Structure 1
């Protein structure tokens, strides 16, 4: 890399840490191994080059190289990586990816406004919508791709349809059933209802889907929000499940695992969205396996992640490649 290219890349990283991570110039200096005065000059360089507007208009070269690698390896149309804010705190990974994804969605909505969007759920999506600037799209329809309720029939706090309605002025359509039913018979009863069938048919017709990627770890929202029991989580682990994608549980190769929960999921199936534009937004290094499994389903076209997770994901891919050759 040429000296001027390296300076610009370092300036972009400093700008992300300053404006997105809200770090002081002293903190940034410690993380980048330069003086505070150098940090000041780097940020000034980014401003002079027009890289800082109401959001940062570029990403460090290391992120771009990672994006190209992941696109090629996972057959993605686009991959966008939010730079590491350098604190070592996983919360900052969510801050970075949410800020970037919020700007991405705003740009997508303003340059080519969709008429109907299928929406997933999760903490990262919730943070993304919070970070997204408002846009006026009163004709937009926003539809849940999976059940919007918990098993106790209370609202799922990670269902972001209402958030998106508030940010866009669009009309929201919830799927008024649990994310996962108590039994297969109950699930069959739900999906036999005319209103549920109508909502699912409407969601299938969406031109854009925005989804999160869930893990089956204890820290995941499925366990935290009691959408599944501890016994069901053990069943998932025993079945080889690594990831929750739209309420379906898949193994590392992207195949649905044989477990009772997959028989009780209420919502769209992978085949319903395979030909559409599916954007997945995910943050946190703990999601590497879950993300790899979700990508293996083949439904995701665009991926937005943070740099720490991207490096973990690239490491997993290289590790798997090495194992395959030995």
Structure 2
């Protein structure tokens, strides 16, 4: 291939005949058609990378290249922006909807997996060393942890938010924290106390222990926290019946509870509801949560609508990850 100097300083490019002598078309084909990098295109054309960037921009202006977004992707981006505006969020990620039909339980598992992957992606800008990250628990948090990239953040601390429970071992508070830390190569900071104790005196005594005091001081200084939200209803099935027996659920429902967030109960306005467990819970409080700068809530599905509304009403989340159907209901697009 021979090149001739031009007045612009770049050589005039002798293009293959199938491109009719149009270097822009050739550059666009190499970049978009053959998926070469801009550096590789520059090498093939014998020009600078900056020139390639200009060629590609000009190719788009001339209509040689058109870029279209998938309508589903465009819709979810628009929903995310609408959620941010409606609820005063700093960020919102909406996963595309799944085709209707199929086994409901299998669909719920796939939904948690999609939300987990999206949450892991949203967290990526903050996954740098020397961070303190508070982690909640639950099946969605388990999916988030499993979707995290494998990293080595040896000076980052992953801190357990609330006390232990006797529910599903795989998604327990200590298990989720440990899996987060393992994926990120970070320091795992669990604490060994139950989520709920039998009396307020025991709760006060445990929280006065130096080890737990240091743990919660560290947690209150966290840079980021990630959590889900639990729905509260007569048909809710809890994995830990010692923590939430039917009588306790009924009591909180009667008192107007719509959600359970980091072990605390919320009404529709996002206010904490007093009940049988008040004063007996060990974990971060709802008053402490808003002091953390970045608070990512990950949840979706029809059962979570009232619970998510309560979380958003209380301004507990700065960022939300959910699915398209849930976003539409939160925005009032569908009933």
**TM > 0.5 fold call:** yes
Equivalent pair of 2:203/2:282 in contact (CA under 8 Å): yes
- Which of 64, 69, 74 is the matching residue for 2:77? 64
- Which of 154, 157, 160 is the matching residue for 2:171? 157
Per the alignment, residue 128 of structure 1 pairs with 144
**DSSP-derived class of the 1:253 partner:** coil
- Which of 266, 269, 285 is the matching residue for 2:285? 269
Per the alignment, residue 169 of structure 1 pairs with 185
Per the alignment, residue 298 of structure 1 pairs with 315
Per the alignment, residue 314 of structure 1 pairs with 331
**DSSP-derived class of the 1:124 partner:** helix
Per the alignment, residue 5 of structure 1 pairs with none
Per the alignment, residue 141 of structure 1 pairs with 157
Distance 2:193 2:90 in 1: 33
C-alpha change, 1:83 and 1:219, in structure 2 (3 Å) is farther
Equivalent pair of 1:286/1:309 in contact (CA under 8 Å): no
- Which of 105, 109, 112 is the matching residue for 2:123? 105
**DSSP-derived class of the 2:297 partner:** strand
Distance 2:187 2:233 in 1: 34
**DSSP-derived class of the 2:277 partner:** helix
Which stretches in structure 1 are left out of the alignment for 5+ residues?
Answer: 1-47, 52-56, 320-326
Distance 1:63 1:262 in 2: 39
- Structure (1 or 2) with the larger CA radius of gyration: 2
Number of residue pairs matched by the alignment: 261
Shifted more, 277-286 versus 233-242: the winner is 277-286
- CA offset at residue 266 of structure 1? 1.0
Equivalent pair of 1:252/1:296 in contact (CA under 8 Å): yes
- Which of 243, 247, 265 is the matching residue for 1:231? 247
- CA offset at residue 49 of structure 1? 6.4
Equivalent pair of 1:145/1:175 in contact (CA under 8 Å): no
C-alpha change, 1:211 and 1:90, in structure 2 (3 Å) is same
Distance 1:244 1:106 in 2: 27
Residue 294 (structure 2) pairs with residue 248 (structure 1): no
- CA offset at residue 113 of structure 1? 4.2
TM-score normalised by L of structure 2? 0.71
- CA offset at residue 191 of structure 1? 1.0
- CA offset at residue 175 of structure 1? 2.4
Distance 2:216 2:170 in 1: 18
Equivalent pair of 1:244/1:250 in contact (CA under 8 Å): yes
Distance 2:116 2:327 in 1: 15
Map 1:201-220; keep pairs closer than 5 Å.
201-217=217-233
Equivalent pair of 2:272/2:286 in contact (CA under 8 Å): no
- CA offset at residue 305 of structure 1? 0.8
Distance 2:187 2:164 in 1: 15
Distance 1:266 1:156 in 2: 20
Which stretches in structure 2 are left out of the alignment for 5+ residues?
Answer: 1-65, 102-106
Shifted more, 260-269 versus 158-167: the winner is 260-269
Equivalent pair of 2:224/2:295 in contact (CA under 8 Å): yes
- Which of 184, 203, 214 is the matching residue for 1:187? 203
Shifted more, 236-245 versus 99-108: the winner is 99-108
Per the alignment, residue 5 of structure 2 pairs with none
Superposed CA offset, 1:99-144 (max 9, x none): 21122223431xx545111111111111111122212111111111
Superposed CA offset, 1:68-103 (max 9, x none): 221112111111101112244333321221121122
Distance 1:155 1:203 in 2: 23
* CA RMSD between the two structures: 2.7
Equivalent pair of 1:209/1:277 in contact (CA under 8 Å): yes
